[in-house]
Amino acid sequence: MDTLESLSLKQIQYFAAVAEYGSFRQAAFRLNITQPTLSNQVAAMEKTLKIQLFERSRKGITTTPQGRELLLSARRILEEAQGFTTQAALLSGGGMGTYRLGVTPTLGPYLLPHILSPIHDRYHELKLYVREDAPSDLETGLINGQHDLILSTLPIMSNELVVAPLFREPLKLAIARDHRLGTKKRINRMDLLGEPVLTISEHHLFHKQITDLCERVGAVVRRDYEGTSLDTLRQMVVMGMGIAFLPALYAKSEIRSTQELRVTDVEGINVVRNHALVWRNTSPVRNFYRELADQIQAIVNESLSDTVLPASRSRRIERD
């Protein structure tokens, strides 16, 4: 009992932050406290628990095996505490706190500008700390407690997560104006036979989707020139290095001039990306997350109906 009384929730938060960032300096910066304060609190926690949580060396710090065992429990405690305060805020109509939202770099920058303002209008005190990562890393980070919820592309494989599909995003063909297909009135899948297709690096789910599409239509993926982002992909298309399929939200947001680039559909090809809001099925505020998913879906259906498609009911996968 004495140990519980002398251990604070803030110390647990500090411990989890150092473990997440792998650095006292970085964790202190994120927590907006001084590094000596953080070090002293973690040392006090280690003394209270009689366990060394971190191994310190000249190369940096690593979490000890005992620390890793406690880290999962620490994250659950912090999540329950946040759930407690959020539920109280919802009941009182007050503030809602800060949530860590993970997003994919091929979706977040082109979706968030459309949804954040309406969400803020509805939930005035809700704050979202946004971090970008590849879908597979987002899923892992969500399971490990590095994110509270994620905006990601399906599929999501873990049974520990609740998936609320939001919408379907078509892929558009981007070709240079001086390409042989640049002035063709209608482009069909046969026109893509043997065409070099550019895509981004293979650690993105988007890469696999484009590779599968190329195999179906007989196009050739240019593996020697993979873009690091959708922007670099677009620039390579403009320079005549190949054609590319780009997400519709990206095209709507970033391609405003049609002088150099033509963005169009391909007859006979109907490829979409399925996007969802995802959270842990153990989250104490999962009811709020479901409400948030419904709000995002309503905003998208109202303001982006000319760009994306409603979520397919047959793909609605919600596990509690």
Query: How do residues 53-93 score in pLDDT, each as one tens digit?
Result: 998 877 778 899 999 889 888 888 888 887 777 767 666 65
pLDDT at 125: 80
State the Cα–Cα distance between residues 120 and 292, nearest whole angstrom. Answer: 11
Contacts of 250 (CB under 8 A, 6+ apart): 106, 110, 230
Tokens at 264, concatenated: 């169009």
Q: What is the CA radius of gyration of the chain?
A: 23
Bridge partners of 220, per DSSP, are: 196
C-alpha 207/C-alpha 213 separation (Å) is 10
pTM for the model stands at: 0.72
Pairwise CA distance, residues 15 & 303, whole Å: 42
> Which of 73, 97, 70, 66 is closest to 84 using CA atoms?
97
| Rounded distance between C-alpha atoms, residue 139 and residue 135, angstroms | 6
* pLDDT score of 226: 73
Q: Look at residue 146 in the predicted model and tell me its pLDDT.
A: 84
The verdict on whether omega for the bond into residue 109 sits within 30 degrees of 0, i.e. cis, is no
Report how far residue 193's alpha carbon sits from residue 121's, in angstroms, rounded to the nearest whole number.
48
Task: Specify the pLDDT at position 314.
Answer: 45
Query: 35: which 2 tokens?
Result: 């590094």
Q: How many residues are there in the chain?
A: 320
Instruction: Please give the Cα distance from 274 to 277 (Å, whole number).
Output: 11
- Under a CB-based contact definition with an 8 Å cutoff, are residues 174 and 234 in contact? yes
**Which pLDDT score, from 0 to 100, does residue 145 have?**
82
Instruction: Classify burial at 38, counting beta carbons within 10 Å of its beta carbon; exposed 0-12, middle 13-18, buried 19 or more.
Output: buried
Low-confidence ranges of the chain (pLDDT < 70): 1-5, 87, 89-96, 313-320
pLDDT value at position 3? 55
The SS3 of residue 65 is helix
Q: What is the pLDDT of residues 13-64, one digit of tens each?
A: 999 989 888 889 888 988 889 999 999 999 999 999 999 999 887 777 889 9
With b meaning 16 or more CB within 10 Å and e meaning fewer, what string describes 102-123?
bbbbbbbbbbbebbeeeeeeeb
Strands 126-132 and 261-264: unpaired
115 within 8 A of 130, measured Cβ to Cβ: no
Beta strand 97-103 with 126-132: parallel, antiparallel or unpaired?
parallel
Ordered by where they begin, the domains of the chain are 2-76 (1.10.10.10), 95-167+274-315 (3.40.190.10), 169-272 (3.40.190.10)
Q: What is the pLDDT of residue 5?
A: 58
**For position 305, what pLDDT does the model report?**
93
Kind of pairing between the strands at 149-153 and 97-103: parallel
pLDDT of residue 316: 45
d(CA 131, CA 288): 20
Q: Report the SS3 class of residue 61.
A: strand
Quick check: 46 and 52 in contact, CB under 8 A?
Answer: yes
Two structure tokens written together for 106: 């091929």
